[in-house]
Structure 1
Amino acid sequence: MKETIYLLTGAAGFLGNNISHKLVSEGKKVRALVLKGDPAVKYVPSEAEVVFGDLTDLNSLKAFFDVPENHEVIVIHCASLVTTSPEPSPKVYDVNVTGTQNIVDLCVAKQVKKLVHVSSTGAIFEEPHGQVIREPELFYPDQVVGYYAKTKAIATQYVLDAVRNKGLDASIVYPSGIAGPNDSAFGPLVRFVIRYCRGEIRVGVDGSFNAVDVRDLSDGIIACTEQGRRGEGYILSNEMVPMRKMFDLISEASGAGRVETILTPEQMQAMSQGSMVESEGGSNLEALKFEIYNLTRNNQFSSEKAKRELGFHTRPFEETIADTVAWLRSEGEI
């Protein structure tokens, strides 16, 4: 009987780190791809084998895929470069599109047992408010908002094309936002909580969040490696949380004063200093518009398919926020 090895990209990131720890806790053999020089390599569990490589450099990935013949290979591709900027970026394209193409091509060449590709709900065409968004069959990069979403749509279609045309056994997962403790990279939601607790957020926009706990997301992805059907996609999301409820949850967990003022998107755009999320490009009108879009778009996703086929479930969002606040306190951030 062949031994199974899990090849995990993005292993030093928030999601990849949680997946790797979960796998090794179950006694699984894990090989972790980490970009050379990434200080976050220290968070990869010691039980995992670390291989340094670059998604955009096909030659550097050969050692990652060089597995003894007596092994079955399962690949979890969760590495990506996230941007909140709406502007095109060659680096984002190279990592998210070219990097995925390289992983897929090697999966085909090596005849791996399974690939689970981590996409994003942002890559899915947005239905009007009031309609529930479900897993698509095709992707339209020109019809999604934001450059990150466009690159994820292109990459996901490439995966599905390889399933249909090259015999690849792959499944797709579509996380909504990702939340939870131990986010050493301080992603958007963690930064939001920090700023709220420090009193730096004075107003909110009439919108919503949809963020899945990273621990539940990791469980869903691992379940997909075994139960995900070939060529199928699974939305892994949570309940849609209105902005006012989000303020309540953070205040209850942290003791921070509750922000009372909720503005319309138009009012918020007129108050650039009230930006909800710090953007990597600094404070500018286009970045602000994109941030407001993410909070006011249709965030109603259905995870019924994942619940039915993968056994996916989510903990109460109150627990996620409480655990995040407790972790930030332990880190001295709030």
Structure 2
Amino acid sequence: MILVTGGTGLVGAHLLLHLIENGENVRAIYRNQNNIQKAKSVFELYKKAELFDKINWLEADILDVPSLELAFADIKFVYHCAALISFDPKNEDGLRKTNIEGTANMVNFSIAKGIEKFCFVSSIAALGDLAPHETYITEETEWNPEKPHSDYAISKYGAEMEVWRALQEGLNIVIINPGVILGPIPKTKNNDQGSAEIYTRVANGLPFYTLGSTGFVTVNDVVRIAFELMKSDIKNERFTLISDNIVFRDILNTIAETLKVKKPRIHASPLFMNILWLADGIFSTLFFQRKTITKATAKASYSKNLYSNEKIKTALGTVFLDVHQYIKDVSKL
């Protein structure tokens, strides 16, 4: 049997569907009964609702060790997708606890229970920092602790350290580092969970664009590659998963065209973004609101990071979906 954490999130729900479609026996853990509907809605979106009942749901929490004892019963393979995603400095403790301590609990149980293979869904945020002579960030790029990193990036890097530690203790592992993961376009205009927030902001009339860039990938590719890696003889490796490096303005324009709304038309320069995050910080503090822009997200908006996907293409012969075409296709679901 396969254990999936984070099954109510974007990647986890799509992974559950992919596993069930491929005839796997799957157990998924949840913390809140209401969140299971999020996963069910993914099955319904693809008109596969009849497959949802094949999942063995179990109430458990990666931070609650006793509950994991039941979750690991009869498990042979683990996909660890659960994580807290936040760029708000106020969530630093939660990020470290969920992403690092939670991952440590998962690998500790995997070692103790003799799990055959463990897949950890990390992030390109946990990859290294370019040296002056380097152009592309790869799986081998070294992490520089002296350079600034978001709390989220630090927590995912720390989580990876727990997985590598488990490797030294005998656990077979694979780590995937997806870029910005794009899934289906949400049906409502107030969805701010994960990458759905990108669609939501454009749909609500986002006026600004930046000329920074990063790696993007579709959720379909992420779950397909994770499944192929777990089925393969490949082990004890990490893989960067991006379809392409795309300028933010271009991805926003594609979304706007697909949704038939106005394209962002005002260029937000690095100076503007830095002023904006400072102003947003003051506003959120005065009015007790959640930060919408942080120093980390402001910097990311104009950074021009380039990521290489050559390793996974060589290992599996992977052909990625075109992100722009994917956005147009999912709009029809």
TM-score bucket (shorter structure)? 0.7 to 0.9
The CA distance in 1 between the partners of 2:32 and 2:247, in whole Å, is 40
The CA distance in 2 between the partners of 1:59 and 1:25, in whole Å, is 31
The CA distance in 2 between the partners of 1:142 and 1:60, in whole Å, is 38
Q: Which amino acid aligns with 1:145?
A: H
Q: Which amino acid aligns with 1:49?
A: N
Partner of 1:84: 87
Structure 2 residue corresponding to 1:125, chosen from 124, 128, 134 = 128
Deviation at 1:188, TM superposition (A): 4.4
Is the counterpart of residue 43 in structure 1 residue 39 in structure 2?
A: yes
Query: Could you list the runs of 5+ residues in structure 1 that have no partner in the other structure?
Result: 328-334
Q: Which amino acid aligns with 1:6?
A: I
Deviation at 1:94, TM superposition (A): 1.6
* Alpha carbons of structure 1 residues 299 and 86: separation in structure 2 relative to 1, 3 Å: farther
Is the counterpart of residue 252 in structure 1 residue 257 in structure 2?
A: yes
The aligned length equals: 312
8 Å contact kept, 1:13–1:40: no
SS in 2 for 1:160: helix
Deviation at 1:62, TM superposition (A): 0.5
8 Å contact kept, 1:14–1:183: no
Relative to structure 2, which stretch is displaced further, 127-136 or 108-117?
127-136
8 Å contact kept, 1:237–1:303: yes
8 Å contact kept, 2:207–2:263: no
The CA distance in 2 between the partners of 1:42 and 1:196, in whole Å, is 22
Q: Which amino acid aligns with 1:29?
A: N
* Alpha carbons of structure 1 residues 151 and 38: separation in structure 2 relative to 1, 3 Å: farther
Partner of 1:34: 30
Relative to structure 2, which stretch is displaced further, 289-298 or 24-33?
289-298
SS in 2 for 1:301: coil
TM-score, L = length of structure 1: 0.84
Cα RMSD between the aligned structures? 2.7
Relative to structure 2, which stretch is displaced further, 211-220 or 243-252?
243-252
SS in 1 for 2:135: coil
SS in 2 for 1:96: helix
The CA distance in 1 between the partners of 2:325 and 2:160, in whole Å, is 31
Structure 2 residue corresponding to 1:19, chosen from 15, 25, 44 = 15
Is the counterpart of residue 236 in structure 1 residue 241 in structure 2?
A: yes
* Alpha carbons of structure 1 residues 40 and 294: separation in structure 2 relative to 1, 3 Å: farther
Partner of 2:231: 226
TM-score, L = length of structure 2: 0.85
Query: Could you list the runs of 5+ residues in structure 2 that have no partner in the other structure?
Result: 41-51
The CA distance in 2 between the partners of 1:59 and 1:292, in whole Å, is 40
The CA distance in 2 between the partners of 1:151 and 1:46, in whole Å, is 34
The CA distance in 1 between the partners of 2:86 and 2:124, in whole Å, is 15
Relative to structure 2, which stretch is displaced further, 19-28 or 185-194?
185-194
Partner of 1:107: 110
Structure 1 residue corresponding to 2:173, chosen from 153, 170, 174 = 170
SS in 2 for 1:291: helix
Deviation at 1:60, TM superposition (A): 0.8
Deviation at 1:204, TM superposition (A): 1.4
Is the counterpart of residue 150 in structure 1 residue 130 in structure 2?
A: no
Deviation at 1:140, TM superposition (A): 5.6
